[in-house]
Amino acid sequence: MNSSYKTKKALHRILLCGIGYSVYFLSYGLYMLFSPFLLLLSFSPELMYKAARTVNRSFLFFLTRIFLPCLHIYKIAEKPSFEGIKDDLPKIFVANHRSRLDGPIIIPFLKKTGVVIKTSYARLPVFSSFVKHLDYVSVSSDSVATMATAINKCKEMFRSGSSILIFPEGTRSRSARLMSFKDLAFRLSIETGYPVIPVVVHSECPFMAKIPGSLVPPFRMNFTIRDLPPMVPEKDERASHFADRVRKRMMEEIRILDKGTVWDPDQINREEAQ
């Protein structure tokens, strides 16, 4: 990470981020308070699902598209267009994962799309509610049983016309490097015939990452959410090979976006040489 990122953060940026984090974590409590009201709609599971989905998407839109940008923490410099993609067919969105904000910032751009989350998250009260009432799928890459259950649930969602968002790295990366991909998304594509849509989420510096100092960005950074052309498996292609092809394509795009930012390896090497 280059020295421009490691500089001391201004007090006003610490205060603004503090406000942002307060609302971010307060939202977990608000979700819990809202849960009992969902039970009033238990007579109609479909209505309960629509209400929960509307509240979830509306809050994430407010948080990531209005509130945090208004605090000058970041601005969204590029939005995904998804041009040429048929809305009436399920899709398998796969995204890189550097920040804890990746999921919340992508979801409002996706229509009728569920999310695959780690089992460790699904044990938390809020996320367990999401798994129960929304199209959230819990999975552990170390458990064959949960993997099989996740695949079946994703296929059920496809049959209802929903798409799915998966972070194939499985966890946030601790560096600029894109980690190896788990096979789930690519097995689903091979077994169902639905395309994989790579989505690159990029910020000019680490934010809410597994990197020291990333809680407060030193400047108002740009977020880029860029969709890449759909990819489909080749004839008789293994899921692991398909995953590697998608990963390489996303790596190419990430290298382009990293240029001139604190993620740029060339810039890091130049500064270390000085």
**Contact (Cβ atoms closer than 8 angstroms) between residue 86 and residue 129:** no
pLDDT score for 30: 73
pLDDT (tens digit, 0 to 9) for every residue of the chain, 274 residues total?
544 455 556 888 899 999 999 988 887 777 777 766 766 777 777 887 888 888 888 889 999 999 999 999 999 999 998 877 777 789 999 999 999 999 999 999 998 899 998 887 777 777 777 777 788 888 887 777 778 888 999 999 999 999 999 999 998 887 778 999 999 999 999 999 999 999 999 999 999 998 888 899 989 999 999 999 999 999 999 999 999 999 999 999 999 999 988 888 765 555 444 4
Residue 62: phi and psi, rounded to 5, are -60, -45
φ/ψ region of 42 (left if φ > 0, alpha if ψ in -120 to 50, else beta) reads alpha
Q: What is the pLDDT of residue 250?
A: 96
* pLDDT number for residue 267: 56
The ranges assigned to domains in the chain are 3-258
**Are residues 201 and 105 in contact, defined by beta-carbon separation less than 8 angstroms?**
yes
Does the domain at 3-258 match CATH 3.40.1130? Answer given as: yes
User: Kind and range of the H or E element at 138?
Assistant: strand 136-139
Q: Note the pLDDT of residue 83.
A: 79
* pLDDT attached to residue 243: 97
What pLDDT score was predicted for residue 8?
Answer: 59
Q: What residues have CB less than 8 Å from 182, skipping those under 6 apart?
A: 141, 168, 169, 170, 243
CA–CA separation, 219 and 259 (whole Å): 17
Question: Which of 256, 171, 261 minimizes the C-alpha distance to 209?
Answer: 171
pTM (two decimals): 0.89
Q: What is the pLDDT of residue 93?
A: 97
